[in-house]
């Protein structure tokens, strides 16, 4: 059975932060089409601050995720601060103390993050939010493992589903958040939260896959 080491995987959060910071302008640009254009700025600020605190420290994935979640929750605000803050702190709490993370633990982690988001937000799949990326990604991961796929294959499937979920938001009308006031005018544009969520899930899952043993 494939697993990856919690203790030696803290750097996944650093590479996730790098991707978010790289995409600062892109995320703000797509946010600006139907929102106020600050998604990339705030995400880069939060992930960058977390990376600063983690740099040079050899900490486990659980601790890195907790640092990231705490920074987002206490320093960033907006909608994304609490939403991603809750997701990452739930991720961290679920895998805390798990030495070797297998597919079951990974699934449990994803579900805890999703439940955390749903406890503070009121969005559903199809509302043009980050849930349109996260929910199908979790479902596809669970289905792959239930179908007997390896952890590695399930992680690959997760990334594909996350990106397909992100792309599905182009054809959705925003039902929640600032873009929802636009109704039909929000069609034809990616949702910024769904886009950043796809980046996060890809980095997390690719990072895990590269460390499988």
Select 14 or 83, whichever has its Cβ closest to other proteins: 83
In angstroms, what CA-CA distances link 151 with 17, 100, 183, 206?
24, 13, 40, 11
Q: Minimum distance from CB of 81 to other proteins (Å)?
A: 6
| Shortest distance, position 26 Cβ to other proteins, whole Å | 12
Closest to other proteins by CB, 10 or 177: 177
d(CA 190, CA 170): 5
Sign (positive/negative) of CA torsion 148, 112, 47, 12? negative
Q: Scan for tokens 């803290």, then name that residue.
A: 10
Backbone dihedral angles phi then psi of residue 5, each to the nearest 5 degrees? -80, 125
Q: How far is the CB of 112 from other proteins (least distance, A)?
A: 17
Nearer to other proteins, 76 or 110 (CB): 76
* Residues near other proteins (CB under 8 A): 28, 31-32, 35-38, 41-42, 45, 73-83, 120-121, 176-178, 180-182, 185
d(CA 89, CA 210): 23
Which residue number, 57 or 181, has a Cβ lying nearer to other proteins?
Answer: 181
Cα gap 25→7, rounded to integer Å: 33
Q: How far is the CB of 58 from other proteins (least distance, A)?
A: 28
């Amino acid at each position: 059975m494939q697993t990856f080491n919690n203790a030696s995987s803290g750097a996944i959060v650093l590479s996730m932060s790098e991707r978010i910071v790289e995409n600062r302008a892109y995320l703000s640009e797509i946010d600006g089409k139907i929102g106020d254009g600050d998604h990339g700025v705030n995400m880069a600020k939060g992930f960058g601050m977390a990376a600063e605190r983690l740099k040079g420290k050899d900490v486990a994935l659980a601790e890195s995720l907790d640092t990231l979640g705490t920074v987002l929750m206490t320093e960033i605000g907006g909608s994304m601060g609490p939403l991603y803050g809750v997701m990452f702190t739930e991720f961290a709490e679920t895998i805390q103390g798990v030495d070797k993370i297998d597919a079951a633990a990974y699934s449990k982690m994803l579900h805890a993050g999703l439940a955390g988001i749903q406890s503070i937000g009121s969005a559903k799949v199809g509302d043009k939010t980050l849930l349109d990326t996260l929910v199908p990604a979790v479902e596809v991961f669970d289905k792959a493992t239930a179908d007997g796929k390896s952890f590695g294959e399930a992680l690959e499937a997760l990334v594909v589903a996350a990106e397909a979920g992100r792309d599905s938001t182009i054809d959705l009308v925003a039902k929640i958040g600032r873009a929802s006031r636009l109704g039909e005018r929000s069609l034809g544009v990616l949702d910024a939260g769904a886009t950043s969520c796809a980046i996060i899930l890809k980095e997390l899952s690719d990072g895990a896959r590269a460390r499988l043993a």
